[in-house]
């Protein structure tokens, strides 16, 4: 019996050492700022919802865009991404309409989907490689692998290369958030494929963000596939 107890004690000691070694592994800053390895965070898939009253003003802008698509394309190209366009008479809105539209836009909220609860966990798959495992609706993110040495994210489509760090405008779609982003982009005779992955935090909140989009278009520009998701999760110690 004494030998059995000693054996069990040795096994426990080994497990503790292995556990301490795993915990002590250096986590890449781009991921470790937002998630603790092996610790599950209960997240939510969210969508941006402004008040319904904004739809009437959006339809007016869409009608104006259809009336002069070339002008609208040029005007939109110079705008800040995700931020309402600056006022112009050709947008189909009066100055009063435009002010109301902006007020409604500023009332937008991140709303969790009813079936959007997920579990988010940072894991090391092998030396120098990490993954963010996400359950449920976010499972496609689990296919991505962050390769620390090259600072790229590998997906079944190819390598997502690091872009400039995110410092989003407070009036952008998701609000003021900062973080890191990677992108894969490929174009051939069959069309164009773009895949983006971002991780960061909503500034001055307890929330971390995972942002993912995969889009495929035909050579003529017709959208063949477009999947995007935003996942909100509580950050460690927040």
Q: What is the full per-residue pLDDT of the chain (238 aa) written as tens digits?
A: 444 334 434 333 433 333 334 444 699 999 999 999 999 999 999 999 999 999 999 999 999 999 999 999 999 988 887 899 999 999 999 999 999 999 999 999 999 999 999 999 999 999 999 999 999 999 999 999 999 999 999 999 999 999 999 999 999 999 999 999 999 999 998 899 999 999 999 999 999 999 999 999 999 889 999 999 999 999 998 7
Beta carbons of 196 and 179 less than 8 angstroms apart: no
Instruction: For residue 144, give the DSSP letter.
Output: -
Residue 31 DSSP code: H
Gap between the Cα atoms of 27 and 123, Å rounded: 10
pTM, 2 dp = 0.84
Which residues partner with 206 through β-bridges? none
Q: Let me know the angle formed at the C-alpha of 128 by 127 and 131, rounded to the nearest 5 degrees.
A: 95
């Amino acid at each position: 019996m004494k030998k059995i107890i000693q054996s069990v004690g040795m096994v426990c000691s080994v497990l503790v050492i292995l556990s301490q070694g795993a915990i002590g592994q250096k986590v890449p800053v781009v991921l470790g700022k937002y998630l603790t390895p092996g610790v599950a965070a209960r997240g939510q898939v969210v969508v941006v919802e402004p008040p319904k009253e904004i739809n009437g003003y959006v339809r007016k802008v869409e009608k104006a865009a259809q009336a002069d698509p070339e002008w609208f394309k040029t005007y939109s190209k110079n705008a800040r991404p995700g931020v309402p366009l600056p006022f112009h008479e050709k947008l189909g809105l009066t100055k009063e309409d435009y002010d109301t539209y902006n007020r409604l836009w500023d009332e937008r909220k991140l709303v969790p989907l009813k079936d959007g609860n997920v579990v988010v966990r940072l894991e090391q798959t092998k030396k120098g490689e990490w993954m963010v495992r996400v359950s449920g609706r976010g499972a496609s993110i689990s296919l991505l692998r962050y390769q620390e040495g090259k600072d790229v994210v590998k997906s079944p489509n190819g390598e997502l290369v690091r872009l400039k760090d995110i410092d989003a405008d407070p009036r952008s779609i998701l609000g003021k958030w900062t973080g890191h982003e990677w992108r894969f982009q490929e174009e051939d005779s069959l069309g164009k494929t773009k895949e983006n992955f971002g991780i960061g935090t909503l500034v001055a909140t307890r929330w971390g963000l995972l942002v993912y989009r995969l889009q495929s278009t035909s050579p003529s520009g017709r959208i063949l596939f477009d999947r995007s998701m935003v996942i909100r999760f509580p950050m460690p110690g927040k």
